[in-house]
């Protein structure tokens, strides 16, 4: 695996690949890699000729400075995991390589960044738009792989491609979970033993909510049930629990629409904010 730390090194290598007709697959990450990230790499290896993974903890998408500071960083372990998975290139830039000057662009994502994560993390998706757009300009992939764990982010990236006119195929990949159902996340390693155990209530509640909704229980009543369950232990601080149209991400009052619905949750367990979702089948 080739490891590069700046775009001046990376760009000519990737240009050679493109000239030779190779399809470049790209997996942007913030590191502290787990099996969920590796599944994206595996998807890229299958669907492209040359797989590039980036590890960059993007300061512009953190609205909480403490969250940015405590975000786990373990570059050596990450590089070993990527090497083992068969990734071709790892790009690990410094902030100056991505933002030689401050990125002042403001993207208009329409309603997409005003709901759910967008409503609770001011500026988060604009920061995601900035970094992904910078990375796309540098890597120029034909395909880019994103996890459905960050469901709203996938919608934002698709919109970004429309706005910026990127001819990049965005490939959403399924959520990988731990055996107790908790969605894999770099943030899980910040949970202590008690918090880690408590976190398994999140996927459990989504499953219960799905069963109740299928049983024709009104959305409001299901929401009440979920918040009530979370109020039993002060370790939980829910940010939101919503049932939305899976295509538009607009919150639903009832399950009368024809298309797919999605349950989305954001909840602090201790100091760590976790998100998850379940597309209703």
* Interface contacts to ligand AMP, rule CB under 6 A: 29-30, 36-37, 39-40, 146-147, 149-150, 173, 175-176, 183-186
Least separation in angstroms between residue 165's CB and ligand AMP is 22
Q: Which of 275, 222, 279, 219 is nearest to 251 (CA)?
A: 219
C-alpha span between 2 and 133 (Å, rounded): 23
Distances from the Cα of 114 to the Cα of 16, 108, 207, 248, angstroms: 41, 10, 26, 12
- Cβ partners under 8 Å of residue 177, min gap 6: 183, 184, 203
Closer Cβ to ligand AMP, 222 or 244, answer by number: 244
Residue among 183 and 266 whose Cβ is closer to ligand AMP: 183
Give the residue numbers annotated as catalytic, written as ranges. Answer: 37
Q: How far is the CB of 49 from ligand AMP (least distance, A)?
A: 21
Of 274, 180, 175, 278, nearest to 230 by C-alpha is: 274
In the bound state with ligand AMP, the residue whose beta carbon lies nearer, of 33 and 243, is 33
Shortest distance, CB of residue 66 to ligand AMP, whole angstroms? 17
DSSP-derived secondary structure for 166-180: ---EEEEEPPPB-TT
Shortest distance (Å) from residue 79 CB to ligand AMP:
15
Residue found under tokens 């367990």 = 269
In terms of CB distance, is 30 or 219 closer to ligand AMP?
A: 30
């Amino acid at each position: 695996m080739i490891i590069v730390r700046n775009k001046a090194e990376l760009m000519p290598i990737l240009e050679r690949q493109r000239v030779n007709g190779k399809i470049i697959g790209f997996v942007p990450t913030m590191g502290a890699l787990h099996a969920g990230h590796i599944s994206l790499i595996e998807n890229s290896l299958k669907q492209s000729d040359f797989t590039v993974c980036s590890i960059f903890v993007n300061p512009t998408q953190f609205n909480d400075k403490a969250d940015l500071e405590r975000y786990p960083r373990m570059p050596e372990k990450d590089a070993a995991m990527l090497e083992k998975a068969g990734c071709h290139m790892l790009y690990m830039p410094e902030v100056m390589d991505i933002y030689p000057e401050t990125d002042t662009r403001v993207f208009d994502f329409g309603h997409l960044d005003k709901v759910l994560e967008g409503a609770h993390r001011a500026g988060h998706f604009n920061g995601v738009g900035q970094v992904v757009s910078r990375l796309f300009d540098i890597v120029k992939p034909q395909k880019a792989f994103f996890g459905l764990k960050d469901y709203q982010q996938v919608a934002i990236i698709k919109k970004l491609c429309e706005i910026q006119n990127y001819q990049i195929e965005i490939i959403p990949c399924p959520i990988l979970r731990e055996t107790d159902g908790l969605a894999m996340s770099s943030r899980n390693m910040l949970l202590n033993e008690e918090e880690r155990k408590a976190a398994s209530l999140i996927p459990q509640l989504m499953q219960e909510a799905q069963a109740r909704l299928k049983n024709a229980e009104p959305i409001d009543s299901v929401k009440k049930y979920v918040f009530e369950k979370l109020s039993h232990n002060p370790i939980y601080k829910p940010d939101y629990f919503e049932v939305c149209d899976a295509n538009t991400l607009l919150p639903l009052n009832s399950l009368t629409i024809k298309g797919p619905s999605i349950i989305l949750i954001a909840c602090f367990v201790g100091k760590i904010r976790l998100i998850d979702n379940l597309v209703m089948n």
